[in-house]
Each structure stands twice: as structure tokens, then as C-alpha cells.
Structure 1
Amino acid sequence: MTHPLSVQLYSVRELISDDRDGVLRRIAEAGFGAVEPFRPTDDPIGFRKVADDLGLSVSSVHAMDLLGTDTEADAVFDAAAVLGTGMVIVPAGIAEEEFTGTEGLTRAADTLNALAERAAGHGLQLGYHNHWWEFEPRVNGRHALEELADLLDPRVFLEVDTYWAAVGGADVPLVLGGLGDRVKALHVKDGPIVKGEPHTAVGAGAMPVPAILAAAPADAWRIVELDNCATDIIDAIADSRRYLSALEAQA
């Protein structure tokens, strides 16, 4: 594995609002080496100091504000620089309807391509993160995200949420093989592959995790996320790391 395992902090959103530093400490104690913030403009200087003290790097950041005003996007770019990551990711915000046909996909690509050019001016790479609605529609016989990838500037990378891709009907290893090096990060998740059902620790659900990891680029970040969980979230995150570490040891 090229990078340390990371955690998307949306997983612990309820805990982190009350005790950011304590939650980051628990993530580090669970053996993770990186985190992926979802509100990077919230005290990036203080966040960076705590993360550095705990030996945590920032793999990338999610930010809805990237699709906001120029001022809001610039604030995200500045925060990413403070946090020490070169990857900023649009996590959602493009209307689901845009992924149902060629015209909508072209508009989505134009938006992301323009934003990628601005990000490049700050020395950053722009990425896009999917949910199920980029996979459920078929456009020209392919999943909409696959069609979108062909319209994107090569500077736009993909962070494939493997769980939502599966919920959207994708054969995830097959899709990853087709996207190739466009994939710079993965959300590694598990569960029953049913909308509305709680997620589980990685390795405790129905996802073909070993096949997914084998199909992804070796240098893509592996980022654990649970959107929701019926058990203790920190325990589930720690269990995910143990499972993924055991897989790596077997490789």
C-alpha cells in the first residue's frame, strides 16, 4: 500500500462536533495514518497542528463550497494548502438529473473542468466523489460515471465510493479496471448493499472488498467511511482497519 489508511471524518461527524481533538486521537490510536476532512475551512491551522502532533496526514478534503462562489472555492483551496494536501474533492452538489443523459453529463463535466483549472492555479488536483445516482442511470450503454469520465479534463481525478457504486448496480472491480489511473482514491465501505440500511465495518458486509482492492490502482488512497452505523462507530472504524491490514499482510 503506497499510502497509509485514511478515514473520512464524515463517519464521526456527530462526535467530532463535540470533541475534534479527542476523536482524532482515537483514530490515530486505532492505527490510521491519515484523515479526510469534510469541512476543511473550519480552523485548518488548529486542525493541522493536532493532526501533526498525532502523526496524521490529510489525504484529501471534501468540500461542498467548491461549487459555491469564487470566494468560497478560494477559501477551500487556501485551507487545503494549510492542511498539507494537494487533493480537493467535490463530494456532491451536482443535480442528480444531470447524470441521466449526455447533455447533463456535458454540463457536469464543464463545471468540473473549469474548477479543475482554477484548482491547478493553486497547485491542487480536483476530484469528484460519486454516490449511487452516478451509477444507476445508463447513458450510451454505460454507467453515467463512466461516460462522465470520458468528458472530464485529465486533470480531474475520481474518488470512487465503492459502496455507492455497488448500490447503483455496478460491478465495482470491473468499473475500477476500466477507469484505471483516473482513480486516485477509494472510499472503502461495507454493508448489505441496500439503500437506507446501516453500514458495517469493512469485512462484515456483502461487498467483495478483496476483489475491489485488487482492481484499483495500487497508489490510490484507501479511505474508510461509514455513512451510518448500528454499532459503535469508532469500534467499526478500528475493525475496518484490522480487516484491511490483514488483507494487506496476505497480499
Structure 2
Amino acid sequence: MPLPTASVQLYSLAEQFAQDMPGSLEKLAAIGLRHVEAFDFVGQAEIRAALDASGLASPTGHAPLLSDELWTPDGAIPTPAPEVVFEAAATIGMQTVIDPFVDPARWLTADGVADIAERLNRAADVAATFGLSVGYHNHAQEFIASFDGASAYQRFVELTEDRVLLELNLFWALTGGQDVPDLVASLGDRLVAVHVKDGIVPTSNPWAPGAPAFGSDSLDQRRAGEGEVPLADALAAGTAVEYAVIEYDRAPGDVFDDIAASYAFLREGGYVA
């Protein structure tokens, strides 16, 4: 398998990006990155010009396709219609739009999981009319319930069509109690991206029923290679991973320094091209 390309999820520097979009992208380019993963991009037509000016591209992006509003650790964002999302994504030059979060309660029943899968299958129909594909990005709620020995996430993978792509957040999969390299291997060629996020994994799943309220300020995140996530083994287990996407919900220090350190881990370890 060709080595993945490094990318960075722009949510990692949401504050800096909102304050100075061109300057933030120029700093990422100066680090050596050539790809980013856009977040909350609908209605921000200026992103394409800023990307072009910095020499960056956003082949993947996060946008809600399955929910009326998108949850983040720091607040909810209303969601536009899928057609609006796909039009904006095509304008930016994306290839794949990835839904980043579905409410934990919807993952607790077999009917809920089937509904999520069917909605994403149908979203793939609409995306195709824009020349795009769709995908799903996990957190840890997908690993709470199980049905006949299969996790809700595994059932979702079985019910979605092969054209629905997958992006595995390695940190959250480990938080969900998964053997992360084994899970990566089991997803085969549908797994086209991983989130390279490291840190000290929470002692319990923060989305389990009855868990305390969760926010990004409670996470102990570390630079890649300095936490508990088996990043090297997970990356080695992929068969078709195209993008290794650096992400911090809450960077431990200066976000650009932390992104540079994670990129150095990927590059010096030979994990990215």
C-alpha cells in the first residue's frame, strides 16, 4: 500500500482559523503540510481562495449529513441540507464529505443503527450527483451497544454500502475499548483516512449512558507518539488509508507547534509519504 498523505483537521485550530484564515493556512503550509480537512465550511466561500493562495488542498472535509445539528464539545452547530453541503464541498475541491458525529442515543438500538446506515447510503446517492463520495468519522459512542456479538459500529459497517467510506479516529476507538490495529485491519479498503490523535485515554467512555457531561477541556491530549494510542501499529494495519489526519480537540501547547510535532512523528517514522 502506498503511504498515506499527512493532513490536519482544521477544527484543531478553530479559533486561529476564525481569526486569520489565510495566516493560519500559511503556517500549516510552512510546517510542510499540503492537505487539510475542512470543518464548518458551508457558507465560507473564501476558504477555496485561501487554500489556493497557501498551496493547500482539502480533499476531505467534515460536515453533518445525518443530524439536524452538529454536536461539538464546545457547542452545537445547526446543519444545512445535504445538497448545500455538497455544493460547498465541490466548490472547495473536496472529494469526500465525512459526517463527524451522530448522537450517542441513536447508536444504542439496532433500529437506530439501521437508520443511520440507510441515511448515509442515501446521502451517497446525492453526493454522487456532485461528483463526491461520503464517509463517517467515529467517536466512542459507536462502541457502547452490541447486537449478536457485533458492536454498533460493526453493524453500521455491515449495513452501509461499500461506496460509503470510513475515517477512523484512533483515539476514540481506543476509548471505546477497541483493539485499534485489529479494527483498522478489519475495515479493509473502505478505511481511507485515520485521525492521528494521541493522549491519555479516558478511564470510561464519556458517551456511555449516565456518564458525566463531557467537554474538550477534560481531555489529556498529547503530541502524536507521546500518549497511549498505538498509532504506529494502527497505521501499519491499514490497506488503503490515503490520509493520516492530525487532530487535537485541545492542543497541549501552541497548536501550530503541536501540529508540527505530530507531523514530524509521522514523517520521521516513515508513516506518511
Counterpart in the other structure of 1:229: 251
For the pair 1:76 / 2:76, whether they are aligned, the reply is no
Task: Return the alpha-carbon distance in structure 2 between the equivalents of residues 2 and 86 of structure 1.
Answer: 19
Cα 1:11–1:207 shift into 2, 3 Å? same
For 1:248, what is the secondary structure of its paired residue? Answer: coil
Distance (Å, rounded) in 2 between the aligned partners of 1:29 and 1:250: 17
Matched residue of 2:239: which SS? Answer: coil
Structure 2, gaps ≥5 residues long? 69-77, 207-217
Counterpart-to-counterpart distance in 1, 2:30 and 2:178: 35
For the pair 1:9 / 2:27, whether they are aligned, the reply is no
Q: Greater CA deviation, 230-239 or 139-148?
A: 139-148
Alignment root-mean-square deviation, CA = 2.1
**CA 49–70 in structure 1, closer or farther in 2 if over 3 Å, else same:** closer
The whole-number CA distance in structure 2 between the counterparts of 1:85 and 1:103 is: 32
Contact kept in structure 1, 2:64 and 2:79, CA below 8 Å: no
- CA distance in 2: counterparts of 1:38 and 1:8, whole angstroms: 7
Larger helix percent: 1
User: How many residue pairs get matched?
Assistant: 249
Shift of 1:249: 7.0
Structure 1 residues 111 and 243, CA, compared in 2 at 3 Å: closer, same or farther? same
1:123 CA drift (Å):
1.3
Asked if 1:24 corresponds to 2:19, the answer is no
Query: Which residue of the other structure, out of 184, 188, 192, is the alignment partner of 1:176?
Result: 184
Contact 2:66 / 2:119 at 8 angstroms: preserved in 1? Answer: no
Matched-pair contact (CA < 8 Å) for 1:115–1:126: yes
Matched, 1:35 2:44: no
Percent identical pairs in the alignment equals 35
The letter for the 2-side match of 1:5 is A
**1:56-98 deviations in whole A, cap 9, x for unaligned?**
1112111126645996321211111111111011111x33122
Task: Tell me the TM-score normalised to structure 2 length.
Answer: 0.85
Corresponding position of 2:212: none
What residue identity is the alignment partner of 1:115? Answer: A
Report the equivalent of 1:135. Answer: 143
Distance 1:70 1:209, change over 3 A: closer
SS at match of 1:237: helix
Shift of 1:2: 4.6
Which stretch shifts more, 1-10 or 226-235? 1-10
3-state SS, counterpart of residue 244 of structure 1: helix
Work out the CA distance in 2 between the residues paired with 1:139 and 1:168.
Answer: 16
1:94-105 paired onto structure 2 within 5 Å? 94-105=102-113
CA distance in 2, matches of 1:219, 1:249: 11
Structure 1's 62 and 179: CA in aligned 2 closer, same or farther, altered over 3 A? same
Mapped contact 1:66–1:76 kept (Cα < 8 A):
no
- 1:184-199 correspondence runs (5 A): 184-194=192-202, 196-199=218-221
- Note if contact 1:41-1:76 (Cα within 8 Å) is conserved in structure 2: yes
Give the stretch that moved more between structures: 135-144 or 52-61: 135-144
- The normalised TM-score by structure 1 is 0.92
Does structure 2 conserve the Cα–Cα contact (< 8 Å) formed by 1:185 and 1:220?
yes
For residue 81 of structure 2, give the secondary structure of its aligned residue in structure 1.
Answer: helix
Any gaps of 5 or more consecutive residues in structure 1? none
SS in 2 for 1:206: coil
C-alpha deviation, 1:202, in angstroms: 0.8
Q: Report 1:42-81 matches (<5 A).
A: 42-44=43-45, 46-64=46-64, 67-68=67-68, 72-81=81-90
8 Å contact kept, 2:194–2:241: no
From the superposition, tell whether residues 47 and 171 of structure 1 become closer, same or farther in structure 2 (CA, over 3 Å): same
CA distance in 1, matches of 2:44, 2:25: 14
Report what 1:85 is aligned to. Answer: 94
Change (3 A) 1:208 1:77: same
Q: Structure 2 counterpart of 1:51, which letter?
A: L
Tell whether the 8 Å contact from 2:5 to 2:272 is kept in structure 1 after alignment. no
Aligned with residue 228 of structure 2, among 206, 218, 221 = 206
Q: Compute the displacement of 1:128 (Å).
A: 0.7
Larger displacement relative to structure 2 (94-103 or 108-117) = 94-103
